Amino acid sequence: MSILVAGETGLVGSAIVRALKKNNADVIGISSKDVNLLDRVKTFDYIQEINPSVIIDAAAKVGGIGGNNQYPVEFLSHNLQIQSNLMDAAHAAKTEKFLFLGSSCIYPRNSLQPIKEDYLLTGELEQTNSAYAVAKIAGIELIKSYRKEYAHKWISAMPTNLYGPHDNFDLENGHVLPVLIRKFIEAKKNNSSEVNLWGSGSPLREFLHVDDLARAVIICIEKYDDSQLINIGTGVEISIKDLASKISAIVGFSGKIVWNADKPDGTPRKVLDITKISNLGWKPIITLDQGIASTVEWYLQNK
């Protein structure tokens, strides 16, 4: 069984490829260097030629609050094109199984907590990343539609906030955890007396190491077959303020943390209900402290 992973060079795709190779799977990882998924014709030709049994879609335009706020057209349009081109090409090539990876930002801003899969579309989205969320919701619907119309065994999985090696540490477009790692490392290196951070620090989030996600993806491919999406998270939340203090301590920065309440906080609370994925026999094994420490080490060695 050949497995194609789209988005091989990214945080998620690289972790999935590593996990599959560890399991001696027949895996092909691709990135934009192999085929531009925004090009529909080339995508169709490429998938037809490779003819994989399984496609895992980890290819997407992603970013933090700043990037989502500044470039909503790209976050909506590019992601719609990437996922629809890949799914339509998979259908044309008669791909047996397709796993679409979305994001927990699909859920309403003020959703009940912990967030169950059936809370989708029960309220308004967080406006700072609504364009990206709508694109991912469209991907979920396209998976469901292919199941309904063609009886494909295709599935959707929604990870929580991810981090780990090969993350995006860009200060303008990265997500909160890798940006905090970079800020504290640079502050320590420059002997800065303080670090300025966005928002109030009050929002609650959960964070999953990408290697734990990769194990969950493999289990979903093997055991999950349902039209409803499946959450992948930890079920454990932490405030951004406490996260910043934790990263500061792990990095060894001893200065002051200053919060800029004029900047947006995003969704006030977001923790996933992981009952469904837990019932498949999966649970996260990398603690937040372990994961942050290893990610800090990876950043220092590679960036």
Work out the end-to-end distance of the chain between its first and last CA atoms, rounded to an integer number of angstroms.
Answer: 36
Per-residue exposure over 146-183, b if at least 16 CB sit within 10 Å of its own CB, e if not: bbeeeebebbbbbbbbbbbbbbbbeeebbbbbbbbbbb
Residue written as token pair 């609650």: 204
Q: Tokens for 231?
A: 């959450």
218 touches 19 (CB < 8 A): yes
| 292 Cβ neighbours under 8 A, 6+ residues apart | 163, 177, 181, 246, 247, 250
Q: In terms of Cα–Cα distance, which of 290, 29, 19, 249 is closest to 163?
A: 290
- Which of 132, 146, 163, 224 is an active site residue? 132
> Hey, is 160 helix, strand or coil?
coil
The answer to whether the peptide bond before residue 114 is cis (omega within 30 degrees of 0) is yes
107 is catalytic: no
> Hey, is 135 helix, strand or coil?
helix
Q: Tokens for 180?
A: 């905090």
CA distance 240 to 203: 6
| Packed helices 288-302 and 176-189: angle between N→C axes, nearest 10 degrees | 60
CA distance 107 to 125: 7
* Residue 274 burial (CB count, 10 A): 25
Residue written as token pair 């085929």: 35
Catalytic machinery residues: 132
